[in-house]
Structure 1
């Protein structure tokens, strides 16, 4: 994405760390949490790959349609899951945003791989920015430890900590806002 190289590397680190934690969450004993963690790991690593500064590595042109296809499949999976579990609508919006950004990057001229403005529909970018900004603000307000261990209770395993899962989603929302701002 376009922007300062140091900010891009921070975004890469944030998204990669989030993706790695989501992989850890996939070891949970709760099936629903494992499913959500897999999709979130894909998002985290995909966002990290997209955020690598163009000055360091410019992916070949065929990469962007592949990203769009991968996240398109993930969006279809989220749409299917949202039929019975409405909280998957957020995953649908996130994966659709990744498809949108991949398509925008595919349209960019090769010399201007990370172009600012003029690509895609500004209305779609604005709507996604409003959604993810609202999501970040609400998620940040809700980020309160879900369970406090006291006395003889056993602490939850790292993969089963709901407050860490919320922090993971919050950091990906922040990353999405940063990426959309560079469009």
Structure 2
């Protein structure tokens, strides 16, 4: 990145912590169905068809995407354009394509998948803009990327950050510590702030 060194370091720490938290949460989530249990009434916690069971795959998918985004943002903030743009394009472009296809073909979780796709595409755009600017070797003379697209992404992630922050404020007290609801919201807020700050350096 081309912002101040202190800003880059703080951005890397923030996004790395958020990405690591998502990775830990992903590893703690069960990867296989639970052992057979006595049947429960429909709609009760743990019963087949209950909301927690229905949303578990989507939650794991979101954790994986947010871990990739957080750790990827931290790596990009530290390495900048020293990593070949093809690496960043593959790392974020392929998941973006997968999320877009999944959003089109499956209505469940469409909004989350579109958000992850926008985030991955924004990361790809940022990396490619840095690479083009490095080739021209005049960062001081022109900003990175396309101003209109950068502005649109800033509006999106700025709005997303406000929305995520408002949801975090409505989270019941104590859930942030135990990670039942507040911690995922805090991670999303941190990554929204990180993406917004990254775009500001362009």
Superposition TM-score tier, normalisation by shorter sequence = 0.7 to 0.9
Higher relative contact order (CA 8 A, sep 6+): 1
User: Given the two structures, how large is their TM-score scaled by the length of structure 1?
Assistant: 0.82
Are 1:2 and 1:115, in contact at CA under 8 Å, matched by a contact in 2?
A: no
Q: Which has the larger displacement, 128-137 or 81-90?
A: 81-90
Aligned residue in 2 for 1:86: 110
Q: Tell me if 1:131 matches 2:152.
A: no
Aligned residue in 1 for 2:122: 97
Q: Tell me if 1:49 matches 2:75.
A: yes
Deviating 4+ runs (over 6 angstroms): 113-116
Q: Judging changes above 3 Å, is the alpha-carbon distance between structure 1 residues 114 and 41 closer, same or farther for their aligned structure 2 residues?
A: farther
Q: Judging changes above 3 Å, is the alpha-carbon distance between structure 1 residues 137 and 116 closer, same or farther for their aligned structure 2 residues?
A: farther
Partner Cα distance (2:63, 2:10) in 1: 22
What are the residue-to-residue correspondences of 1:1-150 with 2, within 5 Å?
A: 1-26=1-26, 27-29=28-30, 30-52=56-78, 59-60=82-83, 63-83=84-104, 84=107, 85-87=109-111, 88-110=113-135, 112=137, 117-144=142-169, 146=171
User: Given the two structures, how large is their TM-score scaled by the length of structure 2?
Assistant: 0.75
Partner Cα distance (1:24, 1:93) in 2: 24
Count of aligned residue pairs for this structure pair: 172
Q: Which runs of 5 or more residues in structure 1 are unaligned? A: 150-154
Aligned residue in 1 for 2:39: none
Larger Rg: 2
Are 2:177 and 2:183, in contact at CA under 8 Å, matched by a contact in 1?
A: no
Q: Tell me if 1:170 matches 2:189.
A: yes
**RMSD, matched Cα:** 2.5
SS at structure 2 position matched to 1:68: helix
Partner Cα distance (1:40, 1:177) in 2: 15
Are 1:116 and 1:182, in contact at CA under 8 Å, matched by a contact in 2?
A: no
